[in-house]
Amino acid sequence: MNDYLSISEEVQLALKEGRPVVALESTIISHGMPYPQNVETALRVEKTIRENGATPATIAIIGGKLKAGCTPEEIEYLGKKGQAVIKASRRDLPVLLARKEDGATTVTTTMMIAAMAGIKVFATGGIGGVHRGATTTMDISADLEELAQTQVMVICAGAKSILDLGLTLEYLETKGVPVIGYQTEELPAFYTRRSGFKVDYRIDSPEELAAAFRTKIDLGLRGGMLVTNPIPEKYSMQPEVINKAIEEALNELNEKGIHGKQCTPFLLAKVKDLTGGESLEANIELVLNNARLAAKTAAALCK
């Protein structure tokens, strides 16, 4: 594994000393936002994690190496290269590593590399899930399968509202993945705080989140835990505004015949345009909010 995995000195030291570490994905850098907001946001997220008592570990694939902990220069490189970096899921790893290429890690691959490095907590924006129309297209994100098998806590703002949220919850239930609402009983829907769907449990403190996950580990139960943390009220978008934009974006997606791993970047970019950039600001704020909670939970887990 040492031939493929590269853990930064800062992250290695934190793990060795039993200090909290929070994993971060890199798809949000290369595919989630335009340059330079992508790099600025990534560095702000890392700063937020440090301010809340943990060490950030931005995860990516650079030159065929699984990186757990990127330098600011590497983050700048990923941000400038943008969508020219391959969006890497589980199936892409063997070829990318063999060819010594770059890859932006999704929720799936970030969970995998975090687990390899010994990192237990991961903060992201939103997870993938069951896409609308999946009953005929079978378009289901690999994120859900990874949550079912990899022992990492994922803290997010819910599933992206471009998805079929009801079917996403059903899939997670079938796979035995606990869906926790942080200070809420309702699944947040990424840009908005409410979706109309209930989570499995409500938990109100980082300490209780850590205790539940520690118990899961102690019991030897495979798979992760999904913590859904609503976007702050100040930045939450009106459901009717975001839903109208999503419907328009989905119609254009279908007209253009876009499918697979290109769906989410296209939809997020289109929704940003349709909302006059409001969705981008919401995206940034919810990621920062998740980073704060992840750092506090990782600290509690270390205790």
Q: What is the pLDDT of residue 256?
A: 83
Rounded CA-CA distance 115/131 in Å is: 26
Question: Which residue, 72, 77, 42, is CA-closest to 62?
Answer: 77
Q: pLDDT tens digits, residue range 24-52? A: 999 999 988 889 999 999 999 999 999 99
| Residue predicted with more confidence, 191 or 30 | 30
pLDDT for res 175: 97
Q: Where are the domains of the chain?
A: 5-302
Rounded to whole angstroms, the Cα distance separating 110 from 25 reads 6
Question: Is 160 marked active-site?
Answer: yes
Query: 31: how many CB neighbours lie within 10 A of its CB?
Result: 24
When the pLDDT of each residue in the chain is averaged and rounded to a whole number, the result is 92
Confidence band for 269, pLDDT divided at 50, 70 and 90: confident
- Is pTM, for the whole model, over 0.85? yes
User: Looking at residue 237, what is its pLDDT?
Assistant: 83
Q: What does the pLDDT read at residue 261? A: 65
| Between 271 and 174, the higher pLDDT residue | 174
- pLDDT for the residue 279: 75
Is 80 exceeded by the pLDDT of residue 265?
no
Whether the bond into 94 is cis, omega within 30 of 0: no
Is 25 an annotated catalytic residue?
yes
∠ Cα 294 296 298 (to 5°): 65
pLDDT at res. 5: 98
Q: Mean per-residue pLDDT for 183-202?
A: 94
Tens-digit pLDDT profile for residues 239-260: 777 778 777 877 887 788 776 6
The catalytically annotated residue of 160, 261, 270, 296 is 160
Among 25, 76, 146, 278, the one annotated catalytic: 25
Which residue from 226, 198, 245, 54 is spatially nearest to 141, judged by alpha carbons? Answer: 226
Q: Alpha helix locations (H) across 152-205?
A: 165-174
- 5-302 maps to which CATH number? 3.40.1790.10
